[in-house]
Structures are given as structure tokens and as C-alpha cells.
Structure 1
Amino acid sequence: MFAIDGVPYNNKDYYAADLFNTILGGLSLNSILMIELRDKLGLTYHTSTKLDNMDHSNILKGILYTDSTTVTKCMSVFKETIENIKNNGIDEITFSNAKSSIINSFVLSLLNNDNVANTLLSMQLYNLDTNYINQHNSYYEAITLDEVNRIAKKILSNDFVIIEVGKNNNIDGKEINVKQNILN
């Protein structure tokens, strides 16, 4: 598991941060982390990320499942992927695909009673306007690639916290401590 400072829900950059999260690890099989770690190298059977907004903390958290024999390689590729995004940004195709996915899936999610209830609950918890459901897609349609790349660089410039659960509590023979910045 890894975590990094995120963006509060009421921040003007929230929707760009949410779109970035979708690109990084929220698109299940089509996220950058899944493509790099699973499709290209077969190092993980699952990785994902999520923006988690709570009363007193806002984090981008993620999970990565790998075998103890591949953890070093997996973390190395993870670090390279994060650095690549910070330095080069997200490409237009990846950005457009993620944006379409969010917009299209929102409408479909409202066909399920549980999802409607969760959406209404979120509207209450975050004090959203009663017209939020009608406005949702416009928030994402307005986001530009430059905005996503700016917020990605901002988020990824924070210190990561990593927690390893498993037999070995180390990467490259170095013991992991919970406050360690894994990108250094």
C-alpha cells in the first residue's frame, strides 16, 4: 500500500485530481500502473489507486500486489513510472480515454439503486448542489490536459508513504519504515 497527499473535495483542482487518479490507477486494467506493471512486465496481478477524502485528511492511496520475489523490480518500475509522469506528463490519448470513461460510467452508474444512494449520500456529505447530478459531466468536460499534468506533478512531488505487508519488510535489502519517502 502507498499513500501521498491528495486534494480536498472542495478544492478547485479536485476534478482534475480525480481524473489524474483515474489515469494513474483508477481505470483497473487500463490504468498507467496496470499497463506498466502487469501488461508489460507481469509483476503484479492487481494495482489500483483512489482519492480518499475524509474530514481531516485527503490522500491519494494505492495498492499493489506482487510476489516477494518481484517486489524490488516492481518498486523500481513504480518509481520510474512516477518520475516519468512528473517529468513528461500524461499523453493526449490517455487523457481523452480517462475523461470519456468517467463521463460515460457516471450515467451508467445511475442505473443501479446502490450507486444512486451512494451518489446522494456523497452529495450530502460534501454539501453539493442539488443539481450536481446534472452538472457532473460538465466538471470533467471542462478539464484540460495541461490542468491534469499540473496537478499530477503537484501531487507526485509530495512524499510517498509505503506500507508493506508480507514476509519481507524490505526493498533492495533496506528495511521499510512507514515514514520513508520511497522515491529517494
Structure 2
Amino acid sequence: MFTDARNALWLPVFSLGALLLSTASRAEPVLPLETWETDNGATVLFYATETLPMVDARVVFDAGSARDPEGKGGTASLTADLLEEGTQKRDAKAIADGFARVGAEFSASANLETTAVRLRSLTESDWLWPAVELLGEVIALPRFDQNDFERERERQERAIESRNQSASAVASDALREAAFEGHPYGHPTEGSLESVATIEHDDVRAFHERHYVARNAIVVIVGALDRAEAKRLADTLVGDLPAGEPAEPLPPVPALEEDRVLRVPFPSEQSTVLVAHEGIPRKHDDYLPLYVGNHILGGSGFASRLMSELREKRGLAYSTYSYLLPLRAGGRFVMGIQTRNDQVEQALGLMADELSGFIEEGPGAEELSDSQANLIGGFPMRLNSNRKITEQVGSLSFFGLPLNYFDTYVERVDSLGADDVRQAFARHVDPDKRIVVIVGPQEQDENAE
């Protein structure tokens, strides 16, 4: 029964999609969210559904790797992983058996800015409330046993060693460090072998004590509940946490001041190339024109300019792309390609030319219209399940965006003109200031950095 219900989560897409596509002419909200605070200060957002007897809940803490203690990168990730290893009342097996017994799913993971603890359950009382109570215990009363800590730290080190065997992962980590140099965003979420080795048992306890507090939490609930049930669910999940205080704002991301190339030796037949330019925080008025412009330039797969110019016309790569990395305290605009080692400079030159041309001329009328139609038509698929809605709503709250954001999305995307896109890129992306990371054989680059 649980599996059948879970596989049917796509059903709401038809009604939700119709509502989204007619937003501009409708008065009712796309997602009629209710919001309140728990007695200890956690923010709660609730969206009631009627399609399936299920509920998805997500507790989002401002406790990502940007909050790792200085020199101890990987602490947030290790803390999240240890939540599954038992509480002060039960061991890991009892936790796993407890969720399995009621057909519920639970997970916890850290990323760059947040740690998210997730629950999916049927709404039948005999199954829902035991799962919710168990998750509340996991969040508030983790055991953090010394043996579990040492085992999970070793597992994280093995994961880092495995990651270091991937050229794309090495490039991503090197770009992050260089593009956010000196900023809390600048180290890998899992940390490095050197940083993880310095993490001690007390560091995990201290991280949990500081960041897993109610005023640093957002609770998102989506499912077939009424408000009273949703309130009980939120209170049960975070009610035993101390109120605490929200994490301090991160410093702004520093502007890029130079054009710099970083070459990382790696035994591969191709080179992985990433290029970071200036970007914006997520809560910026120019986010949508940059988002639409990126879709045209390199974010739409085979329909993008980069793919057309570098793959289709010149055969330089199987894939080339661009993306926005908009965060709370700033961001970057990134372009990437994997190409033959002897074609790196040609590829870099063409990518730079495409970006400069786009900034100078903007998108053509037809490609802008096609991009807008694609983004508007595909948007309902970002909200076609309880799980996706919890992700989107959690992001809105975390980034401080208005909760009616989806109500005007279609209208705002559709109203953008080519000059809006061009000017947004011109304001924020300087082609002459960039961080270039090249991961691959470096035999001929003896004088490289």
C-alpha cells in the first residue's frame, strides 16, 4: 500500500499545472500556504493536500558546510550522518526498525547551506505518529557514540578518497575553493582528508548544540492533514529542541577582482574545464532575467547556445553547459565543458566569445520566446509531488523569498524582454574577471600555477 501510494505522487501535477499556467488570470494562490511559529521559535509552513493519504515533512536547519568550524570542513556532513546512528534511547537498529515498522522513510543530509531532515509517511494515525515521535527524538536527542563517530568519520574519509578519483568532482571542489576563496562557502561539503582528520567527537556535539535549535529551523509540511494535525506534527518534530538563536548572517561573497587560471594535474584522457564569473545572491531582483538568460546560453541542454556552438558546429565536446549558483550571501555564474586536452584553449576562447556576445547583444527574439515557453511549460514538474513541494517551499523560506512567489512566476517570466536579460548579464557578469579551473594532464604546462 505504501509503495503504491508513493508511486502515485505524480497525480497532482495535472491540477497544479493547470493552476500554474493560468496564474496571471486567477486570484487564488498556487500553493495556499499556512505559516506560524512553534512555541520555541521554529518557522512552520504547511500546505494541505487531499490527493493521497500521505505526508512529507522536512526540517531545514541553517547548518550546512558554510557553518563548519574553521579548519574542520566536513563537520556539518558528519553531524547529519550521525543522526541515523542512534539516539540517547535507542541504537541505530532500533531507529531503522522503528521507521520500517510503520512504513515511513527518513533521511538526513547536509549541503553547502543547510542540513535537511526528511520524513515521508502515510497519514494513518497508527503509522504517522510513531514515525513523527521517533524523528523528533532523532533530531533532539542524538547519541553521538564515540565508536559511531569514529566509524562515520572513516566512512567520510573513504567517500572523499573516492570523490578524488573523479575529474569532475576534483574540478568542482577546486572551483569552489578558488571562486569563494576565504569565504565559508569555499570548501567541499564533505571536507577534505586533512580537515576531516581534525574533527573531534566534541566538535560534532558542539555543532549540533549550536545549530540544531528551533530558531534556526524551518519546518515544511505537505500532505493530507488539517492545521491542527500539522501543528501537532511540527511541535512533535522540534518541540524538544532548545529555542536557541538563528545562525549569524554569513559575510557577503567577495567580488572577483582578476582573471585567474588554476591547473590541477589529473590522469585523464580529457580535460575538465570550469569557469566561474561573478554571480548574485538568490534573493536578488535580477535572478529571473539571469535565470532565463542562462537557460538560453547554456542551461537548456541541446537547445543552448554553448551546445550549438561548441558541440554541434565544432565537435569539441559531448556536453557543455552553464548554470547559476545563487546562494544566500552571494553567488557565481559557471560555465563548463569536458574536451580533449589539445582543445582546451580553443574551447575556453569560444566560451568567452559566446558569453561576451550574449552580454553585448542579448538573446534573439525567437530563442527568448522558446526559452520562456520551455520554462513556463516545465515549471509544474517542479511541484508535482509532495517531496518537491517541500523542497521548493523550504527554499523560499530559507532565502527569504515571498511565499506567493509561485503566484506570479509565469507572469514575471513571460514579461521579460531581450533587453532585460542582456542588461542583467551586463550588470553582474564581467567576462574579463573569472576563475578558470582545468583538471587534466599538465605535461605541457610546466609554468602553470
Identity %: 22
- TM-score (normalised: structure 1): 0.84
Query: Counterparts of 1:160 and 1:142 in 2: how far apart (Å)?
Result: 31
Q: Distance in 2 between matches of 1:11 and 1:84?
A: 24
Which of 67, 70, 74 aligns to 2:347? It is: 74
Look up the match of 2:268.
none
Alpha carbons of structure 1 residues 138 and 65: separation in structure 2 relative to 1, 3 Å = same
RMSD value, Cα: 2.1
Give, in whole Å, the separation in 2 of the partners of 1:131 and 1:102. 18
Is 2:420 aligned against 1:147?
yes
- Per-residue deviation, 1:135: 2.0
Aligned-pair distance for 1:16?
Answer: 0.6
CA distance in 2, matches of 1:10, 1:56: 9
Alignment of 1:14-163 (within 5 A): 14-158=287-431, 159-163=433-437
The superposition leaves residues 107-144 of structure 1 with CA deviations (integer Å, 9 ceiling, x where unpaired) of 12222444323211211211222222222212212211
RCO higher in structure (CA 8 A, sep ≥6) = 1
Residue type at the aligned position of 1:116? I
Is 1:164 aligned to 2:427, yes or no? no
Q: d(CA) in 1 for partners of 2:448 and 2:358?
A: 24
Instruction: State TM-score, norm by structure 2.
Output: 0.37
Does the 8 Å contact 2:333/2:429 carry over to 1?
no
Cα distance in 2 for residues equivalent to 1:39 and 1:103: 26
2:299 is the alignment partner of 1:13: no
Aligned residues: 175
Classify 1:33/1:94 alpha carbon distance in 2 versus 1 (closer, same or farther; 3 Å).
same
How far apart, CA to CA, are the structure 2 residues paired with 1:79 and 1:117? Answer: 38
State the one-letter code of the partner of 2:434: F
Instruction: From the CA coordinates, give the structure whose radius of gyration is larger.
Output: 2
Deviations 1:75-111 (A, max 9, x none): 1211222222233222111111111111111112222
In 1, the alpha carbon distance for the partners of 2:281 and 2:380 equals 24
CA distance in 1, matches of 2:434, 2:368: 23
Where in structure 2 are there 5+ consecutive unaligned residues? 1-273
